[in-house]
Structure 1
Amino acid sequence: MKFTVAFRRVCTALAVGGMLLSGATSCRRRPSSATLDEPAVLAAELHTNAVAGLPGTIYQSQAKSPIHWQPWTLSTFERAKAAKRLVLLVIAMPQQSACHKILNEMAADTGMVGKINDNYVPVLVDADATRELGLLAVDLANEIHVAVQLPMFVWLTPEANPVAWIPAMATAPESLRDAFDKSNTWLMRSWTDDPEYVKTHSAADNQARRERFASVRDDNQASKQPAADVLKAIRQLTTLYDAASRSFDEAGGQFPSGTLDLLASVVLTPYVPKDLRARSLYMLQELLKDVLTSPMFDPLDGGLFSVRRSSTWALPVFDRECCSQARAIVALLRAYQATRNPLVLERAMGVLAYAEKSFATSGGGFALGDLPGERPKCWLWTIEDIRKVLPAEDAAWWIAASGMHGLGNLPFEADPTREFFRCNTLSWVKPMGEIAAELGITPDVFKPRFETARKILLKARDERLGGALRDETEHAAATLRMVSAYAMAFGVSGNPLLRDKACSLLEHARKTFADGPRLWMYAARTPPAISAGRAFLYGLAMQATLDVADITGEAPPLAWADDLASTCAEHFTAADFLKECPDNANIINLPITDLTMLFDESTAGLMSMAECRLAARGRPLVESFSRVAIALPMVDLQKPVMHTDLIEATLLRHYAPLVIQGKHLSPAMQNALALMPLRLVKRRVASAADGLADGTVKLILADQTSQVLATPEALQDALLSSPANQ
């Protein structure tokens, strides 16, 4: 495996592709005698693993590691300066099981442990909570022209300037050790020879990086005509899918929640040109055909695998965590609203049930979930495996329903090396009704039989996987995403129990993760640099509070959304951009912003949607914050898949209808308002200037035509404008 290592003008030696090219160093300025005479002071804290008490699966998984992991704090860098050592920063993300695998391999390698502890101040970072470092890892990978891989090793000076970095890929332990050893040898020689040279040139490089980040923002100008350009971006998106080859260009490996959500939103937005809604509906329906019967949906427990291994949906990465489940629930329910395909609803509610069962904590919130490391063969089955655990009469129909074969059901492009020869994924290729008909029984009679077989297979798989520790650490992002999932599920089903769950969970989140006006990723407080809420978390919180406000019509959620928006304006607004990290948590001096859907939705997309919804309610954000929140970057037109959230927010801003609510509405009308498509209808309460009669609502379309509606039926008819309903 080729490892690319970048060392940014530290000296005349350059490591690329795991090979060292050494140059002369005699021309360097030698450290002053005063510098040499200052003794290194190794603080007692650097002799121990100091992350054991930190919340989150990344830290907890390494609580017993022999590596002397330190937290991402200013104190750690002060100790590194006193110790005259480089900082070895390892950026990991709990959503990626490869991170756990590599960290465990590092801990098991005594030679590597010794070199790390003896030469560096090792710092472990959870990039889910310390989000700006995950974004930085992407930028650093781009600098050396490789795809981002986490964990990433980043060597920093005690002043927090990057010196060198390599992606730690999940291959053989020998490859990881070899890449580290080569980097370590070169770095230690350079640092020992002339640390001042390393620090000076790393600082200069970081200043150049800072200027480059600013120039990229300047080059990436916002659209001057967003209402027209957002339609161009959607048209561009619809050209990326080819139904004949079932291929989706630029889709990447993640489950297409953002694309499904955007396409369905286009279909459900009345004032979008009819031909574009029709094209969006067609792509939505075809994309759903690809994923709904694929192994991305687990037929045994109903959960969703959110990442695929190749360009097809035939072989997932067998990892799951709560945030991706909740995000998919919202997207699937939106797709159901646009298509009325009952299978979409079935899959969405199956994922919801799985998320509740797997990630709800005893404390009342939701955990992210623990990913101990993927073992694909524990999830795959041979025909003999099925026949061994199921009665013969059930094994036959299960094998047929899952499309299993003796040589395996994985297409060549999903497993080109035939690593999983004779293995099969499980999926529900045939509808339950069709299987029942082939067996000559009704679906109602067949359902208990299916449930029995499913439970047998699930038990067998659980035994293969072995017992796993349940994550009980409440996670703010997961909890807030589940608030939105419940709100969306209520909007589709009308089930008041789901509305009540959304309301109670939001209140739990407020009490657990809010400290005055500030948010934290975990209930346990840490130094701000580790888990103080980043801008992304505030975006999720505003989304959840506005979702609950929409389905209840109550004031408290809206008031909290106002408070969150004020905090965002105060702490995340810079001169011309939306900064991800608040000043009290910032250590690395770079203007990091989140404009692209790299790991999840982008902060920019969440903020833009929140700004639109609050402004529609007559609660606009302060001008400085609003200006950076509503921009539609022109890059969205060329790369719409990576910006579906920003595109959807802009679509809502310019094309969504506005409903003005009069006073003294009947319970039936209030319920109709609560069931309007969530986020796709702007809302506000009527003022005296509107002159709206009691008991009525006013619907204003994007072209400013309007009608006053007095009954729930009239409101529903006015909003049912998708091609599927025409």
Structure 2
Amino acid sequence: MASTAATTPPDSTVASTTPPGKQGKQSLQDPKFTNALIHEKSPYLLQHAHNPVDWLPWGEEAFAKARKEGKVAFVSVGYATCHWCHVMAHESFENEDIAKILNEHFVPIKVDREERPDVDGAYMTFVQTLTGRGGWPMSVWLTPELQPIYGGTYYPPTRRYGSPGFADLLTSIAKTWKTNPAKVKASASHITDQLQAFAAQDHASVDDASQQNVVAQMDDSWYAHVYGAFGATFDDEWGGFSDAPKFPCPSILLFLTRFHVANRLLPSELHQLEQPNVSDATLHELAAKYRIEATAKNGVKARLRERQNRAQKALEWVEFTCEHMIRGGIHDHVGKGFHRYSTDTEWHVCHWEKMLYDQAQLAIAFTELHAITGKPIYAEAVHDICTYVSRDLRSPEGGFYCAEDADSLPTHADTHKKEGAFAVWGADELRGLLGDQYDVFAFMFGIEPSGNIPRHKDPHNEMTGKNALIMRHTAAETAKKWHLTESAVKTQIQASLGTLWEARLKRPKPHRDDKIIVSWNGLMIAAFAQAAVQLNRPEYLTMAQDAARFIQRHMWNPETNELIRSYREGPSQIGGFADDYAFLTYGLLHLYQADMDATWLTWARALNTTLGDHFFDQDHHVFYTARHDDTQLPLRTKADHDGAEPTASSVATWNMTRLGLLEEDGVCDHYATSVLAAFWPRLRSQPQSMPFLAAASYGVTQGVELLVVALPSDAQGTALSAAEQDFLRTAQAAFHPHRLVVRLNPALVAAFGETASELRSLAQTPVTTPTAWLCRHQTCGLPLTSLDALKAAVSPA
């Protein structure tokens, strides 16, 4: 069969303007039909439980049926809040004529990609290789042995705009299989062999020498190269690092903030550099500190200024991008939180779903920006996200749900959902709600009488005449326009947003995917924990702790140290994947930094061991998505792109550099350097594809600081004094992206005293006053015994 790319849905990386086809004969939840999905817990699978298609969930029952009946398996992969998954469901899977073809000639299988990232990853690799693009819904046809025959993403029910019609495609594949199944199997086997060979060779050869060689190559010039790669794609008009569609890309922001911190000069050093009579000794000292080889005085000055300029530019890119996102339509100004992505360059018209992993990573980015700059706008954005997640995505038991849908009913009287219905507004509706506050609000948020959503951004005519809120003018500009004080404008706008929130609560809410996934909860635990420390919000710490305890109680087996992937009305039967172990470890390390409870460190250590034992490939030196003993799929895959989520390998590298400080057997260091060496060809040629790994690499190439805090009350078993609390809070809150703070109490010594020489040594030193040691490269500095000394060491001027 010829390779024909399907029309790409906007749930992938390319927006589509394909209009919907005719609706199917039955509604999504018509009880006339019931299939095997009715027994599942996944909201996505349950959405298809009343399709006329005889769906089976991914598993042995479906595979056995395909083998027994000699049929091709049709696998449809999506997720509950995916707009174009809904479109294809309405157009094709509710259509009885199409269902008849599927049921007669195929074994239809439904997969929730959030529950089964291994299945999604394996066949997405095939689809992207075949068509040059990917996205959801993903449609794949497999032999009874699960080898791929053909695939794509969204297909309209009938041929349209160059895309084959789904019904015709089904008929063609069925005919080809019936005519010559042996030829199809041979082709599928050949394709599988090619994919396996490609996956195997997509890494550098890794040995001890190559690891050290790669680390040596990741010097200042390489980091400058990565910085330049992002600079080449930076949008200096609207922010972000691509044209439309525009995604938040928090991993890029993470790298750039670390590049800024690694390259910036201290204020005192800048002052020295600008002095006309700066001494040779000072320049020599600065050159040595920043590894500058130039010898001429002017050469050292130029290199230092270049370094500072790059550092400042990196921070400017991050701030410019974040401020435009905060002001943009991607930000839900009324309901709080951030939508999935913008379909235009301006962050205005969105794909309206809200994902937990976006909230978590953006909260971390904004928290770090606030720590670096002190600007209130970023603290407000963090509070905004945390308010949304705790209100709308938090289960009563403390875990965090997955997402909210892009589509919803415009009113309770409607029967057809529309994209963005919960988020957009008519001008007359706003005027009626806001009264005399309307003009000020309309000016600030770009409200237009006929709607501000361009026609070409609304291919289904679902948002005609509506407005997506985007802050077109600042409070200062609005105050000037309406002859008000800036304070009065802010007060009025907050009141208006409150009025709109009350009005929105009367609308039908979007569907919420109330699965609890370990990996995404790990990211959110990290976000709440970091925000709790940096913004001094104890309630955020409680949120992080509750989520960790939920996973500990319901999704972790302490006897085997194994995780369950997801939870909904009880734990699923699906074991955890690499990202579950890596991301939860990441969250627990941040949680320990926030409450200094060594229990979290001990658990993180155990999870990290399981990750290494069961997911690390000793031949290819990366963390694969599924365990070694999972042989169900014909292609074993690893994530190799830090996109909407970072990869397990990238996050594990970050984790290893921290845990390696407490585990001095070299295992963690081996994992971290192995991953960098394995991905070095990609990092060297396409660094923008793995920004989180590039950021994590700083911990390998430049080391992670260990800040050890000892408090007299810990040794005495008494409550901390006010002075001790201030000392500990100062240590925790002094932001450095590559520092691990530990509290030298009996629980920590009991857990890690046998493996960490620094802890063993320092624990033998009795303290009578709050004391800290800053350790770099396995060498600890002199004890810091006053609050001023601690501040000077951890936040130098």
| Residue 135 of structure 1: aligned partner | 121
| Residue 719 of structure 1: aligned partner | 794
Contact persistence 2:329–2:349 (CA under 8 A): yes
Letter in 1 for 2:64: E
Q: Which moved more, 1:63-72 or 1:273-282?
A: 273-282
Match status 1:380 vs 2:414: no
Deviation of the 1:240 alpha carbon: 2.9
Distance in 2 separating the partners of 1:417 and 1:59: 25
Query: Which of 638, 648, 651 in structure 1 is aligned with 2:698?
Result: 651
Match status 1:499 vs 2:541: yes
| Residue 682 of structure 2: aligned partner | 635
Q: How does 1:125-524 map to 2 (within 5 A)?
A: 125-169=111-155, 175=160, 179-218=165-204, 223-228=214-219, 229-243=222-236, 246=239, 248-249=241-242, 253-269=246-262, 273-371=307-405, 373=407, 375-376=419-420, 379-391=423-435, 393-406=436-449, 408-409=451-452, 423-432=466-475, 435=478, 449-463=492-506, 466-516=508-558, 517-523=561-567
Distance in 2 separating the partners of 1:623 and 1:161: 37
Count the aligned residue pairs. Answer: 679
Match status 1:545 vs 2:592: no
Contact persistence 1:532–1:585 (CA under 8 A): no
Contact persistence 1:547–1:679 (CA under 8 A): no
Matched residue SS, 1:144: helix
Deviation of the 1:669 alpha carbon: 2.3
Letter in 2 for 1:677: F
Distance in 1 separating the partners of 2:579 and 2:497: 38
Match status 1:687 vs 2:759: yes
Distance in 2 separating the partners of 1:402 and 1:648: 35
Distance 1:433 1:531, change over 3 A: farther
Distance in 2 separating the partners of 1:598 and 1:657: 25
| Residue 696 of structure 1: aligned partner | 771
Distance in 1 separating the partners of 2:781 and 2:245: 42
Matched residue SS, 1:101: helix
Deviation of the 1:219 alpha carbon: 8.2
Match status 1:676 vs 2:734: yes
Distance in 1 separating the partners of 2:367 and 2:397: 27
Distance in 2 separating the partners of 1:252 and 1:101: 20
Matched residue SS, 1:123: strand
Deviation of the 1:542 alpha carbon: 0.5
Letter in 2 for 1:652: G
| Residue 25 of structure 2: aligned partner | none
Provide Cα deviations, 1:654-694, integer angstroms capped at 9, x if missing partner.
Answer: 33551341533633322223223375313455434468673
Letter in 2 for 1:510: Q
Provide Cα deviations, 1:233-264, integer angstroms capped at 9, x if missing partner.
Answer: 23432343253575634796311322222222
Provide Cα deviations, 1:202-221, integer angstroms capped at 9, x if missing partner.
Answer: 12221122112112224899
Q: How does 1:577-656 map to 2 (within 5 A)?
A: 577-618=622-663, 621=667, 625-626=671-672, 628-631=674-677, 632-655=679-702
Deviation of the 1:541 alpha carbon: 0.8
Structure number with greater CO (CA < 8 Å, separation at least 6) is: 1
Contact persistence 2:138–2:152 (CA under 8 A): yes
Distance 1:90 1:470, change over 3 A: closer
Provide Cα deviations, 1:446-481, integer angstroms capped at 9, x if missing partner.
Answer: 666434422332344455x52445544433234323
Contact persistence 1:65–1:107 (CA under 8 A): yes
Work out the percentage of aligned pairs sharing the same amino acid. 16
Distance 1:547 1:611, change over 3 A: same
Provide Cα deviations, 1:502-533, integer angstroms capped at 9, x if missing partner.
Answer: 223211221121123111122369998x7321
Deviation of the 1:90 alpha carbon: 0.9
Distance in 2 separating the partners of 1:460 and 1:84: 55
| Residue 574 of structure 2: aligned partner | 531
Distance 1:693 1:262, change over 3 A: farther
- Give the aligned CA root-mean-square deviation in angstroms: 3.4
Contact persistence 1:73–1:527 (CA under 8 A): no
Unmatched tracts of structure 2, length 5 or more: 8-32, 265-288, 291-306, 408-417, 713-723, 745-757
Unmatched tracts of structure 1, length 5 or more: 1-6, 8-13, 20-46
Matched residue SS, 2:567: coil
Provide Cα deviations, 1:23-45, integer angstroms capped at 9, x if missing partner.
Answer: xxxxxxxxxxxxxxxxxxxxxxx
Distance in 1 separating the partners of 2:258 and 2:6: 47
Letter in 1 for 2:597: E
Contact persistence 1:155–1:162 (CA under 8 A): yes
Distance in 1 separating the partners of 2:205 and 2:92: 41
Contact persistence 1:163–1:198 (CA under 8 A): yes
Deviation of the 1:161 alpha carbon: 0.6
Matched residue SS, 1:532: coil
Distance 1:424 1:638, change over 3 A: farther
Letter in 2 for 1:515: N
Distance in 2 separating the partners of 1:469 and 1:377: 12
Letter in 2 for 1:453: S
Contact persistence 1:57–1:370 (CA under 8 A): no
